[in-house]
Amino acid sequence: MDNPLTLKQRLLILASFVLAMMLAIIPLPDSVRLLRPDWVSLVLVYWCMAVPERIGVGSGWIVGLFLDALYGSLLGEQALAKALLAFLALHFTLRLRMFPRSQQALAVGTLIAISDLMVIMIKSLVHGTPPLWRDTAPMIANVIVWPVLFTILREVRRRAKIS
């Protein structure tokens, strides 16, 4: 039987999501903003892979609702995308764990790209504007950042004994 997470462990996971959201809303110049990774999605995928029995589709939905509020976007837009991302991450968790880090980064980048494309399609349908190439630029940054973020979060998880 699994041991429940302690309050400290739950707060640590929550803090990682809060930090990711803070990184997501920091104002940046347009030239740099295009290369900002999707921190929240990366953290969500990590925790879905690390503790799939505790972080899942519901967590993705809740995180997405907070992002909708932060971004001022259509309510449910990010929630639907993050729930889909959590589902895909959970579905492919065993495969992702077996990949070497570089291949894992490409796979995670692909999962996040699917989620991002859903948001792009919703925005284009609601606003009636075609998607722009700049909407896809952060997808490359996700692949580059994943190995570093994975290593940091894995060390945090090990020190906190979250399993």
Q: What distance lies between CA 116 and its chain's CA centroid?
A: 10
The pLDDT tens digits of the residues spanning 56-115 come to 999 999 999 999 999 998 899 999 999 999 999 999 999 999 999 999 999 999 999 999
Residues 6+ apart with CB under 8 A from 77: 64, 68, 119, 122, 123
Please give the mean pLDDT across all residues of the chain.
92
Integer Cα distance of 83 and 70 in angstroms: 17
- How many angstroms separate the CA atoms of 138 and 109, rounded? 10
Query: For position 30, what pLDDT does the model report?
Result: 81
**pTM, full prediction:** 0.94
Nearest to 21 by CA among 70, 61, 84: 70
- pLDDT at residue 1, as a whole number: 45
Amino acid 7: pLDDT: 93
Percentage of the chain lying above the pLDDT 70 cut: 96
- Enumerate long-range contacts of 59-66, CB under 8 Å, 24 or more apart: 59/86, 60/84, 60/85, 60/86, 60/87, 61/86, 63/17, 66/21
pLDDT of 2 higher than 60: yes
pLDDT higher than 90, residue 35: no
State pLDDT tens for residues 94-111. Answer: 999 999 999 999 999 999
pLDDT tens column, 116-152: 989 888 888 888 877 776 667 788 899 999 999 999 9
